[in-house]
Amino acid sequence: MTTSHEQALPGVIGSSAAIREVARTTRQVAPARAAVLIVGETGSGKELIARAIHDLSPRQSGPYIRVNCGALTESLLESELFGHVKGSFTGALDNRTGRFEAAHTGSIFLDEINSTSPKLQVKLLRVLQEGEFERVGDTRTNKVDTRLIAATNRDLLDEIDSGRFREDLYYRLNVVPIYLPPLRERREDIPILVEFFLKRYSDQNRRDVRRVSAEAMRRLREHDWPGNVRELQNYVERGVVLGEGPELTVEHLPPQLRGEAPPRPIRARTSDPAALTAELVRQGLRAAGPQANNLYDRIVGQVERELIEQVLASCERVQIKAAARLGINRNTLHKKLAEFRIDENGQSLPPIGDLPDEM
């Protein structure tokens, strides 16, 4: 029996266990005032979840304001979020109300919050903690009552380790995290999504494409979907537009699904170059099947070791600099050095079995 917390969310298509868990968490958190952090890959539907949180909350009658933090420069984003006064910078010809003020009594959704600068993160932290801010170029403090919903397609803990994101802001945002799984982790939802988009785009384009061939559906289900639901939506629309009969077939799919072009690789959700390299190696070996597992482990280990040795050399053996360049923290670097038996000078240590006995 489906509970009220597991009911489908507006605009969110799917019945998989992963989506039911997202729906449950979303419905539980919606009535509260706490900040929410939505984590998911690009195209996975984070804005749909943010909108559902607002629509299911006591603030539903208030404004819902969306800002893509990755689309603006630091100065423009600060003015966009907090407003400015006339003459505060070149081009500030009039006073302007920011998005936080516009979202008063409602909700504000900050997408790609990992793109914000340290300066803006300080102001965001203050809004979260005190509910107050100043417009750019102003000294008067403004109070605001708005709920902050943030989203990121990056691991913010990695961003913290690399010094790009404030730890205190992370814990204020991460009161209630919602992880939105990528489409490849909920493949059972693909037929439902395909059916939904097929009807939408058939109606919009005045076509009569009402079903998908078995082979086309098989290929859709086996694809890894690096662009997630947005990519699937695009491909179904393409198939409807190109289709001439009542059925979407393999011929209507893009080349990478027909096996005529290499698939676009899935981007590793990390800023660690070694982990990124490992992900690319994994994808390259996927076609080799289970027998490639040992080869994969050996290749990844060798790549990581050589990368660390090269970065240490380029940083003149200064481990703090090397860790920063690798995109990992110093403790992780120490663990890697011990794992690969590399000393503090970047030189290889002999295998454990070759060490002399203690005297």
Residue with tokens 């698939």: 263
Residue 110: per-residue pLDDT: 97
Domain 273-354 classification at class level:
mainly alpha
Distances in Å between the Cα of 93 and the Cα atoms of 3, 77, 101, 186 are: 54, 17, 19, 50
Report the C-alpha gap between 303 and 309 in whole angstroms.
10
- Interhelix angle 190-204/214-222, rounded to 10 degrees, is 120
- Which of 172, 95, 97 is closest to 130 using CA atoms? 172
pTM of the model: 0.70
- What are the domain boundaries of the chain? 4-181, 184-258, 273-354
The neighbouring-strand residues paired with 36 are 149, 176
Report the C-alpha gap between 93 and 302 in whole angstroms.
58
Name the amino acid, one letter, at 197: F
Report the C-alpha gap between 143 and 275 in whole angstroms.
43
DSSP-derived secondary structure for 114-143? GG--HHHHHHHHHHHHHSEEE-BT---EEE
Report the C-alpha gap between 229 and 181 in whole angstroms.
11
Classify burial at 86, counting beta carbons within 10 Å of its beta carbon; exposed 0-12, middle 13-18, buried 19 or more.
exposed
Which residues, given as ranges, of the chain have pLDDT below 70?
Answer: 1-7, 87-93, 261-301, 324, 327, 329, 344-359
Radius of gyration of the chain (CA): 25
Encoding tokens for residue 71? 């689309």
- Which of 13, 48, 24, 20 is closest to 149 using CA atoms? 48
Q: For the segment 242-256, what is each residue's pLDDT rounded down to a tens digit?
A: 888 899 999 999 888
H-helix or E-strand spanning residue 80: helix 74-82
Fold topology of 184-258 = Helicase, Ruva Protein; domain 3 (1.10.8)
Rounded (5°) CA angle 25-26-30:
120
Contact (Cβ atoms closer than 8 angstroms) between residue 230 and residue 43: yes
Residue 337: per-residue pLDDT: 83
Distances in Å between the Cα of 50 and the Cα atoms of 25, 150, 156, 212 are: 12, 8, 18, 31
Q: For the segment 97-123, what is each residue's pLDDT rounded down to a tens digit?
A: 899 999 999 999 999 999 999 999 999
Contact (Cβ atoms closer than 8 angstroms) between residue 128 and residue 84: no
Residue with tokens 């814990």: 171
Report the C-alpha gap between 73 and 132 in whole angstroms.
23
Residue 213: per-residue pLDDT: 94
Report the C-alpha gap between 133 and 100 in whole angstroms.
9
Q: Pick one of 3.40.630.30, 3.60.20.10, 3.30.360.10, 3.40.50.300 as the CATH number of 4-181.
A: 3.40.50.300
CB atoms within 10 A of CB 32: 14
